[in-house]
Structure formats: C-alpha cells, structure tokens
Amino acid sequence: MKKMLLGALIAFASACTPAQQEMTREQLVQRGEYLVTAIGGCNDCHTPMTPTGPDMTQSLHGAELMFAPTIEMPWAPYAPTLAGGPAGYTEEQFVAFLQTGVRPDGSQARPPMPQFRVNEDDARAMVAYINALPPPPAQ
Ligand code: HEC
C-alpha cells in the first residue's frame, strides 16, 4: 500500500514538471538545432551543397539534390525550402509531418525524403528551430 502511494506521488510529481515545460523557448530551439543538424541530416539535402559540405549560410533554403537513384523509382530531385517553415504548413502540421511522414494534404513526400517518426517533443523542438531560421530572400 505504502509503495503504491509513493508510486502515485512520483507519477504526480513528474506529471507536474514534464521536461518540455521546464525548457525555455531558447533551450527548445537549441535542442531542435541539435536534432536537425546532428541527427536529422536535413541540411544534407535541403541546403545548397559545396565540395566541403552544406553551405550553412543558406541553411535549409532548399536545394537541388547532389545525388540520384541508381534504379528506377519515384524520386524528387529538389528538396524544398524549410527555413522559416515549409510553405503551406502550420506549426502543428509540420510537427505532425515529422511524427507521421504525412503532409497536410494527406500525401507523402517522395524519396529520398525520409519518413521520419520522431516523438512529439523532438518534433516540436525541430519545428521551433527550423521555423526560427531566416528564410531565403524573396526572389
Ligand atoms: C536524403 C535527403 C533528405 C533529407 C535528409 C531530408 N529531406 Fe526533407 N525532403 C527531401 C526531398 C527530396 C523532398 C521533396 C519530396 C517531394 O517533392 O515529394 C523533401 C520534402 C520535405 C518536406 C515536405 C515539403 C512539402 O512541400 O510538403 C519537409 C517538411 C521536409 N522535407 C523536412 C525535412 C526535415 C525537417 C528533415 C530533417 C529532419 C529532412 N527533410 C531531411 C529530401 C530530404
């Protein structure tokens, strides 16, 4: 009985202080930067490539891919602009896309865009970072 009460107390205490709520916006964006640049590899496709790696002065501005498939398959040769938020996505739709791989219109992005299945906290951090990036200058 005592054990159950203790368990309930711990569960209550952790429900009151989820990690996400303790994070400031700045910390959330920093975590997003780590997930996007160090884990997600988003810049490898969505940022113009140079011989020494993605040009981070144009981070997630959109880019032609530097590689192509060796077999025939559905394929998108261009990775669109993400900086400032992908066109036509609300913040919630972008979070959902990173959790499910499903676009706002119900379709899925073509390869080589990975079908990410990140958890909600990570998706929110990634979206906070990407949406805060300066978008490319208007053309
Ligand atoms: C291997 C290359 C590659 C990587 C890595 C990659 N993408 Fe993509 N992404 C693409 C391509 C190509 C498309 C376009 C797909 C299409 O047109 O069907 C795309 C499409 C998207 C779209 C859909 C935009 C739309 O118009 O609906 C979003 C959002 C997106 N990527 C976000 C990301 C994020 C965030 C990351 C990192 C976590 C990432 N991508 C990593 C290649 C990539």
Q: Give me the DSSP letters along the chain.
A: -HHHHHHHHHHHHHHHS-HHHHS-HHHHHHHHHHIIIIII-HHHHHS-EETTEE-GGGTTS-EE-S---SS-----SEE---TTS-TT--HHHHHHHHHHSB-TTS-BPPTTS------HHHHHHHHHHHHHSPPPPP-
Q: Is the pLDDT of residue 2 over 70?
A: no
**% the chain with pLDDT above 90:** 82
CA–centroid distance, 27 to ligand 1, in Å, is 24
Report the pLDDT value the prediction gives residue 130, as an integer from 0 to 100: 98
> Is residue 8 domain-resident?
no
> Is residue 75 domain-resident?
yes
Please tell me which residue, 22 or 73, carries the higher pLDDT value.
73
Report the pLDDT value the prediction gives residue 20, as an integer from 0 to 100: 53
Q: Is the pLDDT of residue 119 over 70?
A: yes
> Is residue 128 domain-resident?
yes
- Total domains present in the chain: 1
Please give the number of the atom of ligand 1 that sits closest to the Cα of 97: 29
> Is residue 137 domain-resident?
no
> Is residue 117 domain-resident?
yes
> Is residue 44 domain-resident?
yes
At residue 12 the predicted structure's pLDDT band, cuts being 50, 70 and 90, is very low
Please give the number of the atom of ligand 1 that sits closest to the Cα of 40: 38
Write out the residue range of the structural domain in which residue 55 sits.
22-132
> Is residue 11 domain-resident?
no
At residue 87 the predicted structure's pLDDT band, cuts being 50, 70 and 90, is very high
